[in-house]
Structure 1
Amino acid sequence: MPGRSVRSWTLMISGFVHCGKPKEAIGLFSETEEAGVRPNEVMVVTVLAACADWGDLGLGSCEVFDGMKERTVVSWSAMIAEFAMHGQAEEALRLFSKMIQKGMDPNDVTFVGLLHASSHIGFVDQGREFFTSMTNDYGIVPRIEHYGCMVDLLSRQGSFKRLTIEFITNMPIKPNTVVWGALLGGCKVHKNIELAEEATKHLSELDPLNDGYYVVLSNLYAEAQRWEDTTRVRKIMRDRGVKKTPAWSSITVDGVVHEFVAEDETRPQTQETVQMWEKLVEKMKLKGYVPNASVVLLDMEEDQKEKFLYRHIEKLALVFRLINTEPGTPIRIMKNLRVWITGKTI
């Protein structure tokens, strides 16, 4: 092109984001800075989405937002969603309060971020209030994304089965993969195999080639040591041509994002990273650490499970960060797959 406007740059960045290439989108955004292009609100929101996908929080998204002379509901909502997506729920809720103080009315996207934030932090009652407020106070009709967030939110409670089934049954619109997927996530937390089978039944009809649903059900069977059922689910995946998505973790060191892919031995400093992890394990064992082999959902001997644990990409990413940064540096690991820790999803 003989000349590139902020609109053409934004379209290209948006194209990369929608094609699942956040790294390329962020790289293109860096080129706009070198070209002296002043980003508009649409470009900022698009880059925020790329940052969320890629996990590069050090790009300066918050600085860009703080430096905007005019903020619309789009930019406010994008930042709220960004904080919620990265587990900074308190910041998301704080930003919403600031938004209201500025006299800005929220839209439906704003409430998706708020419901996500409430769910991640376990604020079930506040999440309910947001869901009610969006209709009563702002006249916003809930979309399927809001219902999915509510199912995820209700999954945090002990009486999750009764509450979620009742909520889904009373929905004015037909549940889709967002809703059934959220229910399946709750089943993972509460180890409810019966309900997980029901959710997976619907999900396999709506999105038959999505490997994540089968993997969750298979893992639930494995946790219950129902190995025949685990094998059956894996066979269904093979018969339907469903392939398991390779897991990866990424971590940023000195502005460079490093990827750690499962079973990939070509990573930088691989041997040094593994050796450091083994040293850390020995020190932890002296402090009483006992590897939790039960999280390895494979039918193998205990000593094999322990070795399998040591090669988890999250651990290797953590050690890589420790090797290459100064003590006290914040560590933030991003994953392409959802992780469940003590009942919370990340």
Structure 2
Amino acid sequence: MLPFVGVLSACAHGGLIDKGLAIFHSIKEKFKLKHTSDQYSCIVDLLSRAGRFQEVEEIINEMTMKPDKFLWASLLGGCRIHKNIKMAKQAAEALLEIEPENAATYVTLANIYASAGMWDEVELIRQTMDHKGVVKKPGSSWIEIRGKVHMFLVGDASHPDAKKIYALLEKLQIKMKEEGYVPDMNYVLHDVDEEQKEHTLSYHSEKLAVAFGIITTPSGTIIKVFKNLRICGDCHTAFKFISRIMERMIIVRDSNRFHKFRDGICTCGDYW
């Protein structure tokens, strides 16, 4: 059954909706096999990413087994992309029943609320996390240069080359805007003014790591960065611009997949 899961997962990440659905239905209709929980999670992932939530509901209602945490997490991720607050709450509640101490669920739901300007709900989630002692895992990124690993946190100014890193990012910010880049404020989980939001976005850990790679390696060198969490959507957009402006290939391995940026395009096709 594993080959089906691999193919369905590839369809989900590649945006091959019709192909994925055909394969999913063929498992039962052509091969006369029962769907597994992993296969259900994959098809929910595929449909959620595409914003086809009515079909997701139909599939969940038709399931002969109880949805697991992977299915609900896939749905929650799709809800964040499409800002589906109603189904996000449903998915988050189900996830928290299974894993009540999972900080990622709280944070994702808070991000969805924040993108909708629902700051009272965001604050309520923060209070709930504090009350239950749930701590958000800090995002970190790292890059290896000449055999030494350099780690960065958001807004990190502790690195010896911090001034050079920040100076480069400020220059890149100007050039990116000239080429059409618009900061995505939805990725700032704070009710602050637009200027402060943009400042926070500018210095995410993956941006710091990429900038450090650029200033410490020869022109044309491939930049390889690792991140312990999923890459920020704004950073994903920024790296497409940076790869073209600096004429560099940028590879980011986050908690979900590899992203290879070159000439303003990512290999994920913006479907991740």
Give the TM interval when normalised to the shorter protein. 0.7 to 0.9
Specify the code of the residue in structure 1 equivalent to 2:44.
V
User: What's 1:119 paired with?
Assistant: 12
Give the Å deviation of 1:134: 4.5
- CA contact 1:124–1:156 (8 Å) conserved in 2: no
Give the Å deviation of 1:289: 4.5
Question: Gaps (5+ residues) in structure 2?
Answer: 238-268
SS in 1 for 2:120: helix
User: What's 1:226 paired with?
Assistant: 118
Give the Å deviation of 1:145: 1.8
User: What's 2:45 paired with?
Assistant: 152
Cα distance in structure 2, aligned partners of 1:306 and 1:195: 29
Cα distance in structure 1, aligned partners of 2:149 and 2:35: 37
Q: Which of 305, 310, 326 is equivalent to 2:197?
A: 305
- What aligned pairs does 1:35-50 form with structure 2 within 5 A after superposition? none
State the Cα deviation string for residues 143-182 of structure 1 (Å, max 9, x = none).
3222111100111334x22100111111121101111111
User: What's 1:109 paired with?
Assistant: 2
Q: 1:134 to 1:270 in 2, by over 3 A?
A: farther
Cα distance in structure 1, aligned partners of 2:90 and 2:220: 46
- CA contact 1:120–1:344 (8 Å) conserved in 2: no
Structure having the higher helix fraction is 1
Specify the code of the residue in structure 2 equivalent to 1:232.
L
Structure having the higher strand fraction is 2
* Range with bigger deviation, 256-265 or 120-129: 256-265
Specify the code of the residue in structure 1 equivalent to 2:165.
T
- What aligned pairs does 1:195-344 form with structure 2 within 5 A after superposition? 195-253=87-145, 258-267=150-159, 269-287=161-179, 289-339=181-231, 341=233
Q: 1:202 to 1:291 in 2, by over 3 A?
A: closer
Cα distance in structure 1, aligned partners of 2:271 and 2:5: 16
Cα distance in structure 1, aligned partners of 2:57 and 2:207: 37
User: What's 2:241 paired with?
Assistant: none
Q: 1:340 to 1:296 in 2, by over 3 A?
A: closer
Q: 1:289 to 1:185 in 2, by over 3 A?
A: closer
Give the Å deviation of 1:300: 0.9
Give the Å deviation of 1:323: 1.7
Cα distance in structure 2, aligned partners of 1:281 and 1:235: 34
* Range with bigger deviation, 224-233 or 300-309: 300-309
SS in 2 for 1:251: strand
- What aligned pairs does 1:126-145 form with structure 2 within 5 A after superposition? 126-134=19-27, 141-145=34-38
Q: 1:324 to 1:115 in 2, by over 3 A?
A: farther
Specify the code of the residue in structure 2 equivalent to 1:130.
I
- CA contact 1:339–1:345 (8 Å) conserved in 2: no
TM-score, normalisation: structure 2: 0.77
Q: 1:256 to 1:167 in 2, by over 3 A?
A: farther
User: What's 1:182 paired with?
Assistant: 74
Q: 1:201 to 1:273 in 2, by over 3 A?
A: same
Q: Which has the higher contact order (CA 8 A, sep 6+)?
A: 2
Cα distance in structure 2, aligned partners of 1:109 and 1:288: 43
SS in 1 for 2:220: coil
State the Cα deviation string for residues 203-223 of structure 1 (Å, max 9, x = none).
111100001111111111111
- Provide the identity percentage: 41
Q: 1:123 to 1:252 in 2, by over 3 A?
A: farther
* Range with bigger deviation, 254-263 or 277-286: 254-263
TM-score, normalisation: structure 1: 0.61
Cα distance in structure 1, aligned partners of 2:30 and 2:151: 44
- CA contact 2:155–2:204 (8 Å) conserved in 1: no
Q: 1:304 to 1:170 in 2, by over 3 A?
A: same
Q: 1:175 to 1:304 in 2, by over 3 A?
A: same
- CA contact 2:165–2:211 (8 Å) conserved in 1: yes
RMSD: 2.7
Aligned residues: 238
